[in-house]
A and B are shown apart, each in its own frame.
Chain A
């Protein structure tokens, strides 16, 4: 087990290095020049050159890459072009919001998706099963900002049940602050869960149907085990593995969805930071944010692998 975990961890480090490298060069291959976005008009070539020197963009790209890597391994993500502050500080201030939003959506999707998938498989052809199938297919086609705007208009503006954007009512303190925080979290969370839940439940349903046809499940039933115990104890344990892997992979999609969700709901997470930094071509900030997201996804997948291995010892080999 130790060897398995070490091997996976080394692979994770390699993945992160590739992500760092690809991000570094992709950003610099983007059309546009960050110095042009600092001052539009009234910028002499001398001023532009001074900015290029200040940003370190006057050096050859490979030199920039080497300098960036050497700083990165020492934990220095650089200084934001526009905010003149260390990238780490800027990102760390936003990470809790994104983790709370994406993490809650991740957990809620699993908590709702498992019973939905299991129930749909156990009651194949019934109304709920048909709903899960329909929801699973349409979920792939839903566009997060459209759902977000719809929820804002209906649940926020028309019904007045939820606040219009933001993360917290600034005048609240103590318990009221926590309640306000969860009140503001609700709509962005629902948006993300709506998009994720259908496909997840559908995948689990398909796996469950496959597993329910296996001999060991029939044998369990034949031995007189209750349907409930057969479903939850024996079938689900095997059916959940592919669904677990899917969730690991979908974490990237979830974080991507958070960029759009945070923008529409004015939610102060890393996603919105990326949205603003893209417009300003703030390379250090974008690199830092992408690396942080890459680390999150890689670590989540590492955990998924390890959990999968614990659930199914055959994976260890």
Chain B
């Protein structure tokens, strides 16, 4: 190649790079007003994935929810103690023996295009979800017969039967969308809602640059903001798929808050950094071992109880979790202290006692190989969760001491979900991510009709059904708590599951720059509810 050709090639290469760079820059970067700009208070939050879906009526991933929750109001929000407190609704009550749930709305929520938020928006949102069976809220609205709006601030849900957690479930999970915007889109089940957002939450999305960032601007009319408006004018989400990179970005000052919790293994690495603060929050989920009672062995209560006795929870917490978790006894997370049945005694770790119990159940070691004949069970787990993979190994080894042969099959996540959903397993070692209401949880997980599709035990127990139905129809709070704790005790006695632990959740943020977060439990919303962000202040 002569000199002229080399120069030509170099120029072509340079031009190609600049053209590509220009194409890339046109994808949302360099837009005027896309960022907070100099002088504005901008809070930069790390998120792990892009927003997959901007339509809050659809099913949302956790990270979608972080952004959309701040933009669309909900009737109720969750506080730091996992209690549901007013947001758009100032109160709710049950009437007609629990068959009517009546929400009274605030009259000072306003959509960002200036129109007021009214009961018509609530009715529209619920009816669209019911009509198109959208997301997990559709199941919660499944018992609604009709919705009335006697005035702009009252919404009445007529239910086919009383259901105690209805108001909390729908109030917390259902995003309220602007009817006047969404009904123009036609079929809301296919509405992407990916531009010109109209919201009434604390922050409204202004620009989205997939793969990079999502910029939200303060809604000056958000009623829960402090007097004078929220101190943070712009919230910018930056996408870091790798949590290690996100941690480096926080240390370097590229972001101010990690939206995702700090992995237990990384907690110590932040301890030497003066500016980084760690905020511990409660958890709405827990790790557990669940038994498929359609298996002929696991159908026996004594077998399940014996298996519970080969699980050394305390040792698992100390070794696998390095102490970063709390034990739990019954099926309800301790964060719901009101429902937490403190009278329950955990099954002791006692492999010898477990073997005795199994022998009482009719199992024997005829050939003297140390294993109880015919008692071979498979444990499935999600291999993307390293803690549970190790738990499965520990339990397998301890079960062998009791003569039980367990096989640990830790498989790829999609396979795991598919197998547990279809009941193709004996024992499931996994983690419930979020249960925000104990009554809802017990009904979804143990009612034989499987209304939520998560009765992974495949349990069909008439007594349990009766207990659940009785509790679910109780709208008097004290009585509801009593009945829930009765179910708690029954499930524990039946050993339908072996609760393992509640992991400690910590969020990291730059405490030298910001303060005032109002965290909520778990990483469902964590530090980034619209309410929390509206309370954040720069450190002066």
Write the residues of chain A forming the contact surface with B, with a CB cutoff of 8 angstroms: 30-33, 36-48, 50, 54, 82-85, 90, 93-94, 96-97, 99-100, 103-104, 107, 149, 152-153, 156-157, 160, 163-168, 170-173, 177-178, 181-182, 263-269, 272-273, 275-276, 279-281
Contact = CB atoms under 8 A, between A and B. Distances in A.
Contacts of A41: 136, 444, 452-454
Given A42-B140, A160-B252, A165 B240 contact: yes
Given A44-B451, A165-B254, 19 more contacts: A31-B418, A33-B414, A33-B417, A33-B418, A38-B135, A39-B136, A44-B138, A83-B53, A84-B58, A99-B20, A100-B17, A152-B245, A153-B248, A156-B248, A165-B249, A167-B24, A168-B212, A170-B212, A267-B211
Contact of A36 (B53, B133, B209, B418): B418
Contacts of B21: 96, 100, 178, 181-182
21 contacts: A38-B59, A42-B140, A43-B453, A82-B61, A84-B190, A96-B24, A96-B27, A99-B20, A100-B24, A107-B13, A149-B244, A164-B252, A170-B34, A170-B35, A177-B30, A181-B25, A263-B241, A266-B238, A266-B240, A280-B52, A280-B61
Nearest to A54: B189
B241 A276 contact: yes
Nearest to A156: B248
Nearest to A41: B454
A249 to B, nearest CB: 21
Contacts of B211: 93-94, 97, 167, 267-269, 272-273
Q: Which of B13, B16, B245 has the most CB of A within 10 A?
A: B245
A58 to B, nearest CB: 15
B415 A32 contact: yes
A90 B27 CA distance: 11
Q: Which of B53, B135, B136, B242 has the most CB of A within 10 A?
A: B242
B268 interface: no
B417 A37 contact: yes
Nearest to A82: B52
A40 B412 CA distance: 16
B55 interface: yes
A37 B61 CA distance: 9
Contacts of A160: 252
A69 B211 CA distance: 29
Contacts of A47: 133, 138-139
A17 B210 CA distance: 29
A172 B27 CA distance: 14
A45 B449 CA distance: 12
B338 interface: no
Contact of A84 (B38, B140, B192, B238): B192
B378 to A, nearest CB: 16
Interface string B211-248: 11101000000000000000000001011111011001
A100 B15 CA distance: 12
Contacts of A50: 132-133
Contacts of A84: 53, 55, 58, 190-192
Interface in B245-273: 245, 248-249, 251-252, 254
